Amino acid sequence: MVDQTIDGKTGAPKRTSRSLAAAAQRYGVVVALLALILFNIAATPNFLTWQTLNVNLTQVCAIVIVAVGMTLVIAAGGIDLSVGSLMAIAGTLAPLIFTGALFHLPTTAVGIGLAFVLPVIAAAILGLFNGWLVTAFRIQPIVATLVLFIAGRGIAQVMTNGNLQVFKEPAFQVIGLGRIAGIPVQVILMAIIVAAAAFVVRRTLFGRQLLAVGGNPRAARLAGVPARRVTLAVYGISGALAGLAGLVVVARNGASDANLVGLGMELDAIAAVAVGGTLLTGGRAFVVGTLLGAMVIQLVRYTLLANGVPDAAALVVKAGLIILAVWIQQQAKGE
């Protein structure tokens, strides 16, 4: 279809006709965010306060951290449904470690340290397991990650027999409650992750190879791109970030409930990625877009709640928002 529409000498004519839609795709999420902020300044009392900013940022942190991993997986042509379950596993493991329930601890400090490191490693290994299923057996990503979606939460529940773990361990809870120069640690963490991922995608070999694998896996392999290794790594990263997000959530709550940590997170993360402008077909990644996408979704919910609209209605609005965002992308891509 395309070959007739393009003249060999120049690709220019195409641009003008689609420029508006392309701009909408690229900057639509920014415009939406600005519009929401302006609306709130006008309509919502006490919107411009640290309090509001804090509430919204902390609400969005865990989703963004997971969604960054999801952005990479989707850009590489996959999808990861297991992130919510991996959050539950990491979030369950951490208290088990620092309370010494899992193994004997020499000192509390060691326990805290291990409680940060081991759950993330465990989640990363499970992520690699996803990647292994996808690369070694050529199982479709939806199916491969469905295995851990189902089994992963079960593993977390079995570890605690489904019981709620309540704890008070300030040294560990820094990751969810601490502040540096008044900024919540989790927000700093989120910012670092977003910046690092954006840099990796734009400037590094790994980032470009990831997009090549997502854009055309067969061509990438024939051009010498280590497609398997890249895919494996991407799922590993997604797992690790999900694990980290799990720690943030339990630290914030001071409690870990294997039944609830990360429940439905896979779909929230995918929604943030989609609203942020990353096509689900792979080959493209807008990491910053994902951050903004998550913020738009959060702010819509906040705006509705702050203006007396029930949470349930916010779900319906969120649904419309997702469709609208993807529809705009579709227009930008053109037929």
Partner 1 sequence: MSTIEAAAPARRTRSPQTLAKAGVVAALVLLILFGWARYDNFLSSYNILSFLRYNAMFALIALGMCFVIITGGIDLSVGGVAALGSVVAAQASGYGLVPGVAAGIATGLAAGAVNGVVITRLQIAPFIATLATMLAAYGTALLLSGNQSVSVSYDTAFTEFGQGDLMGFPIPAIVMIVVTLGGWFVLERLPTGRRVLAVGGGEDAARLMGLDVERLKFGVYAASGALAGLAGAILAAQFGAGQPTEGVGWELFAIASVVVGGTLLTGGVGSVGATFAGAMLLALLFNLLNFENGKGWISLSAYWQSVIRGLFLLAFVLLQARIARTQED
Partner 2 sequence: MTLVSMRGVTKAFSGVPALIDASLEIEPGEVMALVGQNGAGKSTLIKILTGAYRRDAGTVTLSGREVDFASPGAAQDAGISTIYQEINLVPHRTVAENIFLGREPKRWGMIDIGRMNREAEAALARFGITVDVRTPLSGFNAATRQMVAIARAMAREARLVIMDEATSSLDEREVATLFQTIRTLKAQGVGVLFVSHRLDELYAVCDRVTVMRDGRTIGVHAMNAVSKMDLVTAMLGRALAAAERDLSASHGQGAGAPVVEAAHLAAGRRVRDVSVAVREGEVVALAGLLGSGRTETARLLFGADRPDGGRLTVGGEERQFREPAEAIAAGFGFCSEDRKVEGIIPDMSVVENLTLALMPRLTKAGVIDRAAQRDVAETFIRKLGVKLASPDQKIRELSGGNQQKVLLARWLAMNPKLLIVDEPTRGIDVGAKAEILKLIRDLSGQGLGVLMISSELEEVISLASRVVVLSDGRDVAELSGEAISEHGMMAAMAADAEPRSGHG
Cβ closer to partner 1: 22 or 263?
263
The reply to whether 195 sits near partner 2 by the rule CB under 8 A is no
Q: Which of 12, 42, 181, 312 binds partner 2 (CB under 8 A)?
A: 12
Size of the site for partner 2 (CB under 8 A): 40
The reply to whether 221 sits near partner 2 by the rule CB under 8 A is yes
The reply to whether 155 sits near partner 1 by the rule CB under 8 A is yes
The reply to whether 308 sits near partner 1 by the rule CB under 8 A is no
β-bridge mates for residue 255, sequence order: 166
Q: Which of 19, 49, 51, 140 binds partner 1 (CB under 8 A)?
A: 140
> Any idea which residue has 């570890």 for tokens?
159
The reply to whether 326 sits near partner 1 by the rule CB under 8 A is yes
Whole-number Å distance between alpha carbons of 260 and 263: 5
> Any idea which residue has 């939406």 for tokens?
32
Phi then psi for residue 134, to 5 deg, are -70, -45
Those residues whose C-beta lies under 8 Å from the C-beta of residue 28, and which sit 6 or more positions away, are: 277, 325, 328
CB 24 within 8 A of CB 328: yes
Cβ closer to partner 2: 166 or 196?
196
CA distances from 199 to 51, 159, 193, 256 (A): 31, 37, 10, 33
Q: Which does 181 bind (CB under 5 to 8 A by kind): partner 2, partner 1, none?
A: none
The reply to whether 101 sits near partner 1 by the rule CB under 8 A is no
Give me the least distance between CB of 324 and partner 2, in Å please. Answer: 22
Give me the least distance between CB of 73 and partner 2, in Å please. Answer: 17
Those residues whose C-beta lies under 8 Å from the C-beta of residue 39, and which sit 6 or more positions away, are: 303
Residues that bind partner 2 (CB under 8 A): 1-14, 16-18, 203-206, 208-209, 211-212, 215-216, 218-226, 283-284, 334-335
